[in-house]
């Protein structure tokens, strides 16, 4: 029995086959667990050791984001971060980093307390989203300035306040909601 193929049938099937070749899930091309660079945030850390180091680790998120730049005034203290993120550029001055690394999407700021507001303001003025350790500011006027800057430049910001957002607090809240720890009364 002979099959008759029309030109139209051939074109339709060829088009479908070609489209199938070009429209493939991302993981097929990159393998299981692959995340394309375009789906990752380009993160820079200002303050790369101590609390800044743990913020950096959380921002890296097991490789779901790219660490593109590190900044620390003390490279000896930043040795581990430099080793862990060897592809990242290293800077002593965050202003130079922000001027040179134009592909940064967001920064973590884990520097001494008195520098948080100034560095956050500088990053936001350059369109960088910011995760800033507490205290965010030292004065109400600094807080208002950062709020206005974030609104003007449509910047996403967060202050590190692990006391209210860590997993233990979330779990305790769930236990209370599920009444797993018994009745809680006001004293």
CATH (domain of 51) = 3.40.50.720
Domain count, the chain: 1
In a domain, 3, yes or no: no
**pTM reported for the whole predicted model:** 0.71
Identify whether the C-beta of residue 94 lies closer than 8 Å to the C-beta of residue 33.
Answer: no
Give the Å distances, CA to CA, from 91 to 68, 70, 78, 103, 114: 11, 6, 11, 15, 20
155 part of a folded domain? yes
Contact (Cβ atoms closer than 8 angstroms) between residue 67 and residue 75: no
- Do 24 and 30 meet the contact criterion of CB atoms below 8 Å apart? no
Q: Is residue 2 part of a domain?
A: no
Give the pLDDT confidence score for residue 27 in this predicted structure: 56
Task: Let me know if residue 13 belongs to a domain.
Answer: no
Specify the pLDDT at position 71: 96
User: Residue 31's pLDDT is what?
Assistant: 65
Name residues whose C-beta falls within 8 Å of residue 57's C-beta, 6 or more positions apart in sequence.
none
Residue 20 is assigned to a structural domain of this protein: no
Token representation of residue 178: 């599920």
Question: For residue 88, what are its two tokens?
Answer: 């990242």
User: What does each C-alpha distance from 173 to 39, 162, 180 come to in angstroms?
Assistant: 32, 15, 10
* Distance (Å, whole) CA 115 – CA 137: 9
Domain extent at residue 146: 38-168
In a domain, 100, yes or no: yes
Q: What is the pLDDT of residue 140?
A: 95
In a domain, 68, yes or no: yes
pLDDT in 10s for each residue of the chain, 187 residues:
555 566 666 666 666 555 554 555 555 556 666 666 677 899 999 999 888 888 888 888 888 899 999 999 999 999 999 999 999 999 999 999 999 999 999 999 999 999 999 999 999 999 999 999 999 999 999 999 999 999 999 999 988 876 666 778 888 888 888 888 888 788 7
Report residue 46 as tokens. Answer: 């200002």
């Amino acid at each position: 029995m002979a099959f008759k193929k029309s030109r139209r049938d051939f074109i339709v099937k060829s088009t479908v086959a070609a489209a199938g070749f070009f429209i493939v899930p991302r993981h097929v091309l990159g393998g299981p667990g692959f995340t394309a660079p375009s789906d990752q945030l380009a993160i820079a850390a200002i303050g790369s050791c101590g609390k800044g180091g743990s913020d950096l680790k959380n921002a890296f998120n097991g490789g779901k984001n790219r660490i593109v730049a590190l900044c620390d005034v003390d490279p000896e203290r930043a040795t581990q971060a430099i080793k862990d993120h060897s592809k990242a550029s290293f800077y002593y001055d965050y202003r130079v980093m922000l001027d040179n690394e134009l592909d940064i999407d967001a920064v973590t700021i884990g520097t001494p307390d008195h520098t948080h507001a100034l560095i956050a303001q500088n990053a936001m003025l350059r369109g960088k989203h910011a995760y800033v350790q507490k205290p965010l500011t030292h004065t109400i006027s600094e807080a208002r300035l950062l709020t206005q800057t974030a609104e003007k430049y449509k910047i996403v910001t967060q202050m590190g306040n692990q006391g209210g957002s860590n997993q233990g607090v979330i779990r305790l809240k769930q236990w209370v909601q599920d009444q797993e720890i018994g009745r809680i009364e006001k004293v």
